Each structure stands twice: as C-alpha cells, then as structure tokens.
C-alpha cells in the first residue's frame, strides 16, 4: 500500500524497522569501513557514511579476520568427496542397493 503524504510518496513498509532483514556486508563495504576506521573516524561517522548501524561497523573493525570468512557450521562430514563419488557411481548404475553399497564400501554410517 502506497501512502501519499504532502509531497512525498512512499511505501508503508519503509516506516518499519528492518529487524534482522539486513543483507550481508559486501567485501567492498567491509573494506570501506576498515579504511575509514584506519583514517581515525569515529564509529558513528563511519555508520552514517556507510548507511549501516554503529554496531555493525564496530563488529567489522574489531573482528576483521572473522568477518571475512565465516566458519562452516554443523558436524564434520562423515565421508570425503572421493567416497561420495564412488557411492553415487555405484547407486546410479542401478545394480546395487543402498545396503549393498554400504556393505561393499564398509561404511559405518547409513
């Protein structure tokens, strides 16, 4: 729903805060934030210049290494890529069932 107010026209969702809906920072934005921080600007000024929250800028400045590459979440993989290809090849031929593949490759997982 569009709202017309005086000379401005805007969507009503523009008035709502974007809690948790922000997109991830691009590498260029992170570089910009770090460059401005090294130049001696305050976090408030950096936040206004980049149109990001102060806490986001603070997180990038304090933890630059962690913000560049996120760690892989979850438990470690049970099988490696080579074994995964062998399983797929064995099953895709249609000659072996999942139980036979498990027995043949001596897998401990199901």
Q: Name the phi and psi angles at 92, rounded to 5.
A: -70, -20
pTM of the full structure: 0.42
Residues 45-79: tens digit of each pLDDT: 999 999 999 999 999 998 866 545 566 678 888 88
pLDDT of 16-54, one tens digit each?
555 555 678 888 999 999 999 999 999 999 999 999 999
Q: What are phi and psi of 5, to 5 degrees?
A: -130, 110
């Amino acid at each position: 729903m569009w709202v017309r107010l005086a000379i401005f026209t805007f969507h009503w969702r523009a008035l709502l805060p974007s809690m948790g809906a922000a997109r991830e920072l691009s590498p260029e934005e992170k570089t910009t934030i770090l460059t401005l921080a090294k130049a001696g600007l305050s976090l408030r000024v950096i936040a206004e210049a980049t149109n990001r929250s102060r806490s986001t800028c603070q997180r990038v400045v304090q933890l630059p290494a962690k913000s560049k590459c996120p760690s892989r979440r979850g438990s470690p993989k049970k099988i490696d890529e080579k074994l995964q290809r062998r399983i797929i090849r064995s099953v895709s031929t249609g000659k072996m069932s999942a139980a036979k593949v498990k027995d043949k490759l001596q897998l401990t997982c199901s």
